[in-house]
Amino acid sequence: MPCISPEGHLTNSGRSLLTAATEPATPEEVAERTGLPLFRVRSSLRELVHAGFIEEKEDKYRAAEKGREALRRSASS
């Protein structure tokens, strides 16, 4: 389940993960908030970190500025 489309846009699952990580959260907390399996959350968080949408600090994940901007754009669409 990719979080980023081939065009570089967030998918529905990507938006869901970003929304769950608007405040710093562990992968377990993100899984609980989204209802997704932990293994899927971990791989998706890695994908979003690599793309610059999420930042990792001290084993917690939080939406980066690029991710917050993507959420604002999708909310206004």
Q: What is the pLDDT of residues 15-39, one digit of tens each?
A: 999 999 999 999 999 999 999 999 9
The 3-state secondary structure of 21-74 reads CCCCECHHHHHHHHCCCHHHHHHHHHHHHHCCCEEEECCEEEECHHHHHHHHHH
Model pLDDT for residues 50-65, shown as the tens digit of each residue: 999 999 999 999 999 9
Q: Between 43 and 1, name the one with better pLDDT.
A: 43
21-25, 44-48, 51-55, 72-76: the lowest-pLDDT one: 72-76
User: Who's near 62: CB < 8 A, 6+ residues apart?
Assistant: 21, 22, 23, 24, 25, 54, 55
Statement: residue 69 has pLDDT above 80: yes
Q: Between 3 and 62, name the one with better pLDDT.
A: 62
Statement: residue 5 has pLDDT above 90: no
Q: Over the range 8-33, which residues count as b (16 or more CB within 10 Å of their CB) and which as e?
A: eebeebbbbbbbbbeeebebebbbeb
> Per CATH, which fold does 12-72 belong to?
Arc Repressor Mutant, subunit A (1.10.10)
- Identify the pLDDT of residue 63: 96
